[in-house]
């Protein structure tokens, strides 16, 4: 009889130990998955920020080049207007 009681309580004790190990393993796995997800989101956010920064830099470079080209074109247009004015004066004086 005592042997049965000892076996019973040992079985209960080992069952509790196994349940505790299972609980902690499941909790550890969930925490590990949450940490991996956080790192992945952080990495994606960092990559997105780098892409945006690079895009902004390239856009500024293009804008600067465009501004320079616009200034050159406006100078050429003004020069052509001056030449046209000179031609008109010359033609009208004939």
pLDDT confidence of residue 11: 94
- Give dist(CA 64, CA 55) in Å, integer: 14
pLDDT confidence of residue 90: 61
pLDDT confidence of residue 86: 67
Q: What is the DSSP letter of 49?
A: H
pLDDT confidence of residue 14: 95
**Count, residues in the chain:** 94
List, for residues 29-82, the tens digit of each pLDDT value.
999 999 999 999 999 999 999 999 998 888 888 887 778 778 888 888 888 777
Question: How far apart, in Å, are the Cα atoms of 87 and each of 33, 42, 70, 94?
Answer: 79, 66, 25, 11
């Amino acid at each position: 009889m005592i042997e049965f009681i000892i076996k019973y309580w040992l079985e209960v004790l080992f069952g509790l130990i196994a349940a505790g190990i299972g609980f902690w393993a499941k909790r550890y796995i969930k925490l590990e998955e949450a940490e991996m997800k956080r790192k992945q989101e952080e990495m994606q956010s960092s990559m997105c920020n780098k892409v945006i920064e690079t895009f902004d830099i390239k856009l500024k470079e293009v804008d600067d080049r465009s501004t320079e080209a616009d200034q050159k074109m406006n100078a050429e247009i003004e020069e052509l207007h001056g030449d046209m004015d000179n031609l008109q004066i010359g033609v009208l004086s004939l």
